[in-house]
Structure 1
Amino acid sequence: MSYSDNQNLELISLIWLDNMADATQENREIQDKLRSIVNYLRTFDNCKQCEDYIRNIINDKYDKIILIVSGKLGQEIIEHIHHLKQVISIFVYCIDKNKNELWANKYKKVRSVIVQINDLFEQIDLDRKSEEQKLNQSIELLINKDEIIPLILQIDSSLIDKKYLLNICSKFYENNITELENIREFEHLYSSTNSLDWFFNETFLYRLLIKSLQIFNIEIIFLLRFFLQDINQQLIYCSTVYERVYHGQLMTIDQINLINQSINDKYIRFNSFIIANRNKEQVINSLLNSSNTNDLHRVLFDIDSNQIGKQYKEYIIFPITTYFRIISVNFEKQIWIVKIIVFNSNKSNENENKNKNPFQLAHLLRHIGQLDQSEKLFYLLLNQYPSMNSQCYDGLGRIAQDKGLYDISLNFYLKSLQTVSLKNRAHCLNNIGCAYDYLEQYEYALQYYSQALTLMKNDIYQAMCLSNMGITYAKNEQYQQALECFQHSLSIREKSLSDNHPDIGISHTNIGVVYSSIGQLDLALKHFNLALKSFSSNNSDINQAIVYQNMAKIFQEKNQFDQALQFYKNSENIFQLFRPVNHPNLVYIQQQINQLKQQN
Structure 2
Amino acid sequence: MTQILTQIENLSQIDSIFIFDWEQLSHDRSILEYSKLIGVFHDFNMLSSSIEKQMEFLNEHFQTFSFFDQNEYLIKDLSKHTADLLWYQLYHDVLSQPSYVTEDALQTMIHEFRSLYRENSKTFETIENFAREYRSDDALQWYLKKTFLYRMINKALKVKDIDQLYVLKSFMKDLTQCFIREHRKLIETGKEKLIVYRGMKLSRDQIEKFTENLGQLISTNGILITTSDHLIAMNQIICNQEKANLCSILLKIECDLLHMNGIDVIADLEEEYQMILFNSNATFQLVDVKMNEEITLIQLILSNESQTMKEKYINDSRRRIANISLDILFGQLMCDMGLWNQSQHYLEYLLNGSQLNNEDLAQIEYSLGDVYQLKAKWYDARKYYDRAYQAFNMQITYYPSGDITMMESLNNIGDLLFDQKQYNDALSYYQQALTICQTHAPYAINSVAFCMNNIGIILCTQQKYAEALEYHQKALNILENKSSLYQTGITDSLCYIGDLMIEEEKYSEARDYYRKALTLLENYLASPHINIADILNRMGHVLYHQRKYDEAIELYQQSLSVREKLDPDGNIDMATVLINIGKVLYETADDDGALSYYRRALVIQEKCYQSPHIDIADTLNSIGLALYGQKKYDEALEFYQRSLSIREKLDPTDNIEMGTVLTNAGRALYKKADGDGALEYYRRALAIQEKYYQSPHIDIADILNRIGLALYGQKKYDEALEFYQQSLSIREKLDPADNIEMATVLTNAGRALYKKADDDGALEHYRRALAIQEKYYQLPHIDIADILNRIGLALYGQKKYDEALKFYQRSLSIREKLDPDGNIDMATVLTNIGLALYKKGDDDDGALEYYQRALAIQEKYYQSPHIDIATCLNSIGFALCRQKKYNEALDFYQQSLCIREKLDLLDSIDTATLLCNIGHTMYEKYDYNATHSYYQRALVIQEKYYELPHINVANTLNRIGLTLYDQKKYDEALEFYQRSLSIREKLDPDGNIDMATVLTNIGLALYKKADDGALEYYRRALAIQEKYYQSSHMDIAESLNRIGLALCDQKKYDEALEFYQRSLSMQETLDPDGNIDMATVLTNIGLVLYEKADDDGALEYYQRALVIQEKYYQSRHIDIAKSLSRIGLALHDQKKYDEALEFYQRSLFTREKLDLLGGIDSATVLTYIGLSMHEKGDYDAARSYYQRALVIQEKYYESPHFDVAKSLNRIGNMQSEENEC
TM-score above 0.5: yes
* 2:248 alignment partner AA: R
Q: How does 1:137-152 map to 2 (within 5 A)?
A: 137-144=61-68, 146-152=85-91
CA distance in 1: counterparts of 2:528 and 2:107, whole angstroms: 40
| 1:448-481 alpha-carbon deviations (Å, 9 max, x no partner) | 2233344442244343222211111111111122
Quote the residue 1:417 is aligned against: 386
CA distance in 1: counterparts of 2:451 and 2:276, whole angstroms: 51
Quote the residue 2:643 is aligned against: none
Quote the residue 1:317 is aligned against: 276
* 1:245 alignment partner AA: V
Quote the residue 1:174 is aligned against: 118
Among 2, 18, 21, the alignment partner of 1:89 is 18
Cα gap change, 1:235 to 1:568, in 2 (>3 Å)? same
Give how far 1:513 is off: 2.7
| 1:278-309 alpha-carbon deviations (Å, 9 max, x no partner) | 43334323422224324333222234444566
Give how far 1:373 is off: 4.4
TM-score after normalising by structure 1: 0.72
Q: What SS does structure 2 have at the residue aligned with 1:555? A: helix
CA distance in 1: counterparts of 2:477 and 2:500, whole angstroms: 17
Confirm whether residue 565 of structure 1 aligns to residue 535 of structure 2. Answer: no
Among 87, 93, 97, the alignment partner of 1:154 is 93
* 2:150 alignment partner AA: Y
Tell whether the 8 Å contact from 1:497 to 1:504 is kept in structure 2 after alignment. Answer: no
Q: What SS does structure 1 have at the residue aligned with 2:477? A: helix
* 1:136 alignment partner AA: E
Give how far 1:209 is off: 0.9
Confirm whether residue 492 of structure 1 aligns to residue 485 of structure 2. Answer: no
Cα gap change, 1:135 to 1:529, in 2 (>3 Å)? same
| 1:175-223 alpha-carbon deviations (Å, 9 max, x no partner) | 3344445445545654453222112112222111111123332433465
Q: What SS does structure 2 have at the residue aligned with 1:299? A: strand
Quote the residue 2:53 is aligned against: 129
Give how far 1:113 is off: 5.1
Give how far 1:598 is off: 5.4
Quote the residue 2:203 is aligned against: 252
Identity of aligned pairs, percent?
A: 21
* 1:214 alignment partner AA: K
Quote the residue 2:663 is aligned against: none
Quote the residue 1:458 is aligned against: 441
CA distance in 2: counterparts of 1:519 and 1:112, whole angstroms: 67
Q: What SS does structure 2 have at the residue aligned with 1:567? A: helix
Quote the residue 1:587 is aligned against: 579
Tell whether the 8 Å contact from 2:228 to 2:276 is kept in structure 1 after alignment. Answer: no
Q: How does 1:539-558 map to 2 (within 5 A)?
A: 539=527, 544-558=532-546
Q: What SS does structure 2 have at the residue aligned with 1:147? A: helix
Give how far 1:105 is off: 7.4
Quote the residue 1:65 is aligned against: none
Q: How does 1:274-353 map to 2 (within 5 A)?
A: 274-307=224-257, 310-314=267-271, 315-320=274-279, 321-331=281-291, 334-344=294-304, 347-348=307-308
Cα gap change, 1:374 to 1:586, in 2 (>3 Å)? farther
Quote the residue 1:433 is aligned against: 414
CA distance in 2: counterparts of 1:79 and 1:548, whole angstroms: 43
Tell whether the 8 Å contact from 1:540 to 1:574 is kept in structure 2 after alignment. Answer: yes
Q: RMSD of the alignment, in Å?
A: 4.2
Quote the residue 2:143 is aligned against: 199
CA distance in 2: counterparts of 1:319 and 1:123, whole angstroms: 33
Confirm whether residue 473 of structure 1 aligns to residue 459 of structure 2. Answer: yes
Tell whether the 8 Å contact from 2:196 to 2:276 is kept in structure 1 after alignment. Answer: no
Q: How does 1:195-234 map to 2 (within 5 A)?
A: 195-221=139-165, 223-224=168-169, 225-234=172-181
CA distance in 1: counterparts of 2:256 and 2:519, whole angstroms: 40
| 1:416-457 alpha-carbon deviations (Å, 9 max, x no partner) | 312442144443222121222233221222222233344442
Q: Higher RCO, 1 or 2 (CA under 8 Å, sep at least 6)?
A: 1
CA distance in 2: counterparts of 1:544 and 1:260, whole angstroms: 22
* 1:441 alignment partner AA: Q
Cα gap change, 1:594 to 1:378, in 2 (>3 Å)? farther
Among 300, 306, 327, the alignment partner of 1:358 is 327
Q: What SS does structure 2 have at the residue aligned with 1:275? A: strand
| 1:395-435 alpha-carbon deviations (Å, 9 max, x no partner) | 344345556x3xx2453133331244214444322212122
Tell whether the 8 Å contact from 1:565 to 1:596 is kept in structure 2 after alignment. Answer: no
Quote the residue 2:793 is aligned against: none
Cα gap change, 1:586 to 1:134, in 2 (>3 Å)? closer
CA distance in 1: counterparts of 2:156 and 2:2, whole angstroms: 35
Tell whether the 8 Å contact from 1:433 to 1:445 is kept in structure 2 after alignment. Answer: yes
Give how far 1:133 is off: 2.3
Larger radius of gyration: 2
CA distance in 2: counterparts of 1:260 and 1:358, whole angstroms: 35
Give how far 1:242 is off: 4.6
More helix by share: 2
* 2:19 alignment partner AA: I
CA distance in 1: counterparts of 2:213 and 2:141, whole angstroms: 35
| 1:229-255 alpha-carbon deviations (Å, 9 max, x no partner) | 224313312454855433211221212
Cα gap change, 1:396 to 1:596, in 2 (>3 Å)? farther
Range moving further from structure 2, 476-485 or 292-301: 292-301
Quote the residue 2:1191 is aligned against: none
* 1:471 alignment partner AA: I
Give how far 1:256 is off: 2.0
Quote the residue 1:66 is aligned against: none
* 1:310 alignment partner AA: A
CA distance in 1: counterparts of 2:118 and 2:432, whole angstroms: 53
Give how far 1:504 is off: 1.9
CA distance in 1: counterparts of 2:269 and 2:485, whole angstroms: 51
CA distance in 2: counterparts of 1:555 and 1:130, whole angstroms: 52
Tell whether the 8 Å contact from 2:179 to 2:266 is kept in structure 1 after alignment. Answer: no
CA distance in 2: counterparts of 1:596 and 1:361, whole angstroms: 45
Q: What SS does structure 2 have at the residue aligned with 1:342? A: strand
Cα gap change, 1:325 to 1:165, in 2 (>3 Å)? same
Quote the residue 2:928 is aligned against: none
Q: How does 1:234-249 map to 2 (within 5 A)?
A: 234-236=181-183, 237-238=185-186, 240=191, 242=193, 244-249=195-200
Cα gap change, 1:246 to 1:586, in 2 (>3 Å)? closer
CA distance in 2: counterparts of 1:535 and 1:471, whole angstroms: 22
More strand by share: 1
State the number of aligned residues: 515
Among 493, 512, 529, the alignment partner of 2:498 is 512
Q: What SS does structure 1 have at the residue aligned with 2:275? A: strand
Q: What SS does structure 2 have at the residue aligned with 1:159? A: coil
* 1:281 alignment partner AA: L
CA distance in 2: counterparts of 1:187 and 1:229, whole angstroms: 20
* 2:179 alignment partner AA: N
